[in-house]
Amino acid sequence: MLQAKRYHTLTALTGRNQLDSSYHVAFYLLSYDTELYEIACQYVNCDGIDFSGIKRATRGFDERSRQVIDIAHNLFSWNSKYNVTPFDVSRLGYPYMELVCNALYIAADEIRVVIEPDQNHKVQMTLDTEPYEKTKRIHSRLEQMQAALTVEAEAAKGYEMER
């Protein structure tokens, strides 16, 4: 089963039509690994995600997987106990570090998870980066405006000095 199908199944378990970014980020991380997904399915329902249950059920998992679970929990609830440091994230390696970085953008609503059927009618996952690209364009324009204002201010300052 592909990650897209696992993600789609987790969202369906909530029974909700609209989910906020906290659900999207958690399901993005929990759907990557098949074994983790199977456990997560037992702890997702209309009331939310029971991360305490997921953590108990995954005690025997490797350290990287447990760190990804902690990150998903923290991005989902924002106040969960979180022991993973930026140094730990830097040591996750591929593919986990990439998943976590994408998850940060998903949590910030800068990237959206898009689930659509492909040409063969199989569910496919893509990441829509348009919100992030828009933020980059706005930031670039602001920097250009700031540079132009700085040049104008320097020119005005020079004009004042001549007088």
How would you write the pLDDT of the chain (163 residues) with one tens digit per residue? 699 999 999 999 999 989 999 999 999 999 999 999 999 999 999 999 999 999 999 999 999 999 999 999 999 998 887 789 999 999 999 999 999 999 999 999 999 999 988 888 888 899 999 988 998 899 999 999 998 888 888 887 776 666 5
What is the SS3 assignment for 48? strand
At 8 the pLDDT is 94
In 3D space, the residue among 125, 131, 126 whose CA is nearest the CA of residue 110 turns out to be 131
At residue 72, the pLDDT reads 96
Q: Is residue 120 helix, strand or coil?
A: coil
pLDDT of residue 120: 85
**CA separation for the pair 28, 106 (Å, rounded):** 9
Contacts of range 104-109, beta carbons closer than 8 Å, 24 or more positions apart: 104/75, 105/129, 105/132, 106/21, 106/24, 106/25, 106/28, 107/21, 107/22, 107/25, 107/75, 108/21, 109/21
Note the pLDDT of residue 83. 84
pTM: 0.83
Written as six digits, the tokens of 53 are: 């249950």
| pLDDT at residue 163, rounded to an integer | 58
